[in-house]
Amino acid sequence: MIPAMRPVIVAGNWKMHTTPAEAGELAATIARRTNEPDVVRVLCPPFVSLAAVRDALEAEPGAGAVAVGAQNVHHETTGPYTGEVSAHMLQGLASWVIVGHSERRRDAGETDELISRKVQRALDTGLRVILCVGEQLEDREAGHAADLVRTQVRGSLDGVDVAAIAPLLTIAYEPVWAIGTGRHAQGSDAAAMAAVIRATLGGLGFDDRGEEIPVLYGGSVSSSNIGDFMDEPSIDGALVGGASLKPDEMAGIVARAGLTARARAQR
């Protein structure tokens, strides 16, 4: 059974794309093309484009339901950290933040311990967190995928106040082996890992609230494959990468997510 409070979410991670001018125009276009009130929509541009996206959405009629998210946050509130951005600096610019993305784990060497500190900083300022977890190809081929994801969930939420984070937490399952590699995950793969994630949350003290945490799929999502994942009752939307830069793709993804949201509401 799907808890009534679990929303359907489509978040677009623009990564290192768009200038502020390009980002504002793209955000307004996507907002117009994805007018699905039953789907929570989040756009995550680069830091330099946060204000432009916020302003563009505020100026676009009916776009107020589209939220702005940051792609990362620092684990300290302030300090001598050149080039970094704290959670407090995001106030007024973003209401969501992506934490622990696979590219940050890979390229910046982010550990679960560091990610847990970032989650806490986001929580301190009321940001909604999209926590990313997922295995590499070698983990899956060795049969360690579930163990790896359990470890990431536990480590990334270590010491975090469960009661405080539960209403603000979304988890994105990213099978790293299916991102830009030509290999494809199936809806059943994502559903199996969603079960692992929610069981792990239960063991961390979330108890029944673990079933209320949205789990997204994030692995080369497109308008042509989103249906396979939205057909799974345990999957509540998508964290979209490259396709989120294409209004036609986002329109198709959000439209399909809207069908699922309305079907669930009628149950």
Dump pLDDT digits (tens) for 184-233.
789 999 999 999 999 999 999 999 899 999 999 998 899 999 999 999 99
Q: How far apart are CA 220 and CA 176, in angstroms?
A: 9
pTM metric for this prediction: 0.96
Annotated active-site residue 232? The verdict is: no
Rounded to an integer, what distance in angstroms lies between the CA atom of residue 98 and that of residue 96?
7
3-state secondary structure of 97: strand
What band does 4 get if pLDDT is binned at 50, 70 and 90?
low
**Residue type for 176, please?**
V
Provide the pLDDT for residue 129: 98
Per-residue pLDDT at 25 exceeds 80: yes
Cα(104)–Cα(223) distance, integer angstroms: 25
Share above pLDDT 70 across residues of the chain, in percent, rounded to a whole number? 98
Catalytic residue among 36, 74, 101, 232: 101
- Mean pLDDT estimate for the chain: 94
Select which of 36, 103, 135, 174 is catalytic: 174
Three-state SS for 130? strand
Which CATH code fits 8-265?
3.20.20.70
In this model, does residue 251 exceed pLDDT 90?
yes
174 is catalytic: yes
